[in-house]
Amino acid sequence: MVKLILILGDQLCDGLSALEAADKSHDVVVMAEVVDETGYVPHHPKKIAFVLASMRKFAKRLRRDGWTVRYTQLDDDDNAGSIVGELMRAADELGVHDVIATEPGEWRLISALEDIPLEISILPDTRFIATHTEFEEWAEGRKELRMEWFYRDMRRKTGLLMDGDKPKGGKWNYDHDNRKAPPKEIDFSGPLRFEPDDEVSAVLDLVEQRFGQNFGDLRPFWFATDHEGAQQQVDHWIAGGLAQFGDYQDAMITDQPFLFHSVVSFYINVGLLDPLAVCRQVETAYRAGVAPLNAAEGFIRQIIGWREYMRGIYVLEGPDYTSRNALGHSRDLPAFFWGGETNMRCIEQAVGQTQEHAYAHHIQRLMVTGNFALIAGIDPRQVHEWYLAVYADAFEWVEAPNVIGMSQFADGGIVASKPYVSSGAYIDRMSNHCKSCSYSVKTKTGEGACPFNLLYWDFLIRHRARFGNNPRMGNMYRTWDRMAEDRRETVIAEAGALLEKLDAGEDI
Ligand code: FAD
Ligand code: DLZ
Ligand code: SF4
């Protein structure tokens, strides 16, 4: 009996469970470019182009391998506009009633598929290391779902960086070594740039015409759009970037968007790279002496620890997770998140490179844009939708726990044991941005005071009832309490004035 095999735009790998369960000799693969997926947030044009071009190349690859593929392009006349609509159209045309799918990453599509009037078998997404059951069992009965404990289980499960049942080097986590201030020079050229071929160029024209108004620069487009290109990026980064990845993981430098980061998240998230294979390659490089342990462990932890953990939280917490707002924040996202003017150099850098590349590294997302949104009290839903739109690697299952949970504390502390907030001092320590900023990071109040300095205290005081007894935040509140009364009043008054400016849409 012929079956339809659904493959989504972030399921582009040969070993996908739906493909493994199918019969190449008669089943029909269904892939569709649809407005529902290109438009559920105003995606960065580079992200749309990347997904569509990668889908087209993957369809070609499947056909080369002998599969029958029914592929709908965005501009096709009868395009139904949604994944479900395209599946129904294929079922009607081919007179087929059975569908095999690999579980979509997002609740939105999981529930749409569950409601479809066809016989559908939804298989687990085996690209992840932990199954849903494993994560549930790990989480069951725990008071706190801390990533570190889960990560250790994933090390044991994969055997990565293990000596028998002991972690390589005697410690599970070398994060402490991975917080060096920015280096004077960067001797790594960043990610490989791929010239668009004819197929990619056709997609770029389409995206320009349909989504040219979205925030973000479409061109120059430099992403790889197939497995081979993505693998070249991994090889290139392991040879030149991995060794220093750990040391400078948290550093930020003006006009250096990539530093020693791997720039592989979007390749992994759409399926062009297998996360476990990349980790094994990093472990091999470490064993060959290409990189120190803190670099290899730091990278592997991000993938088998954080990435898997985020997915586990997304599934465990259910579809309402993205609506959480534990701190009751309601301010609108300022225009400078969408490229408007700002005098804050750190924000201008993080947003500017996001606009250019659909990329920012972890610390920029967490401690610059995320930190600002949190201390300014921005509505987490708007923050979530911004991150989901502007990053090429943003898919809700990984973006939402990072934004709603880790960055905005909107889940009330499931992901983070305390809010990731800081004054300008942290940004100054980890970057060189403050040197060229029109604000002064050393100035706490008055003319030229860094907005992070004011809003940091304002946040802590606004939420004292919630965080005042948090043992990890005691020092912060003690510092505040030691401040002179009139100084404290000035901080709160100036923070209030700054927030009023923000609400009035004035540049800050
Ligand atoms: P590297 O710094 O080289 O890290 C290696 C890999 O580890 C990444 O490619 C990624 O696959 C994984 N990784 C690292 N940190 C995390 C993390 N916290 N959660 C999940 N995986 C991680 N990552 C996404 O893939 N999609 C998102 O939508 C996303 N949104 C984020 C939003 C916020 C507010 C924050 C703080 C982080 C977010 N991250 C997200 C995690 C992280 O910022 C990106 O994975 C990373 O910046 C991608 O760049 P890279 O490939 O150069 O990563
Ligand atoms: C992100 C994206 C975009 C922009 N376009 C498509 C598309 O046209 N067709 C498709 O199948 N998938 C697309 N995707 C990826 C989906 O949004 C993704 O599969 C779901 O959000 C589940 O994670
Ligand atoms: Fe950012 Fe403040 Fe430093 Fe300016 S002074 S770059 S606003 S932290």
For the chain, where do the domains classified as CATH 1.10.579.10 start and end?
A: 335-503
What string of DSSP letters covers 348-397? HHHHHHHHHHS---HHIIIIIIIHHHHHTTB-HHHHHHHHHHH-TT--HH
Q: Which ligand minimizes its atom distance to the CA of 372?
A: 3
pLDDT at 15 over 90: yes
User: Looking at domain 335-503, which of 1.10.287.80, 3.40.50.2300, 2.40.30.130, 1.10.579.10 is its CATH number?
Assistant: 1.10.579.10
Residue in 314, 395, 16 with CA at minimum distance from that of residue 136: 314
Interhelix angle 83-94/107-114, rounded to 10 degrees, is 30
Chain mean pLDDT for the chain = 97
Q: What is the DSSP letter of 483?
A: S
Q: Which ligand minimizes its atom distance to the CA of 31?
A: 2
Q: Which residue has the tokens 């401040």?
A: 483
C-alpha of residue 104 to centroid of ligand 3, in Å: 40
| Closest ligand 1 atom to 262 CA | 3
For the chain, where do the domains classified as CATH 3.40.50.620 start and end?
A: 4-123
| pLDDT tens column, 136-184 | 999 999 999 999 999 999 999 999 999 999 999 999 999 888 788 888 8
| pLDDT tens column, 320-334 | 999 999 999 999 999
Find the mean pLDDT for residues 366-383.
Answer: 98
Q: Which residue has the tokens 């997926």?
A: 37
pLDDT at 450 over 90: yes
| pLDDT tens column, 199-210 | 999 999 999 999
Residue in 294, 274, 474, 458 with CA at minimum distance from that of residue 372: 458
What string of DSSP letters covers 204-256? HHHHHHHHTTSSS---S-----SHHHHHHHHHHHHHHTHHHHTTTTT-BBTTB
The predicted pLDDT at position 178 comes to 79
The burial of 425, by beta-carbon neighbours within 10 Å (0-12 exposed, 13-18 middle, 19 or more buried), is given as middle
**Which residue of 348, 439, 498 sits with most ligand 3 atoms within 8 Å of its CB, as the best mutation to test the pocket?**
439
Half-sphere exposure in the Cβ direction for 48 (13 Å, CA): 34
Confidence of residue 80 (pLDDT cuts 50, 70, 90): very high
| pLDDT tens column, 349-362 | 999 999 999 999 99
Q: Which of 63-77, 168-182, 304-318 has the lowest mean pLDDT?
A: 168-182
| pLDDT tens column, 100-134 | 999 999 999 999 999 999 999 999 999 999 999 99
d(CA 414, CA 425): 27
Tokens of 301: 């932890």
Instruction: Confirm if 439 and 428 have CB atoms less than 8 A apart.
Output: no
User: Looking at domain 4-123, which of 1.10.3210.10, 3.50.50.60, 3.40.50.620, 3.30.360.10 is its CATH number?
Assistant: 3.40.50.620
The predicted pLDDT at position 183 comes to 87
| Closest ligand 2 atom to 34 CA | 8
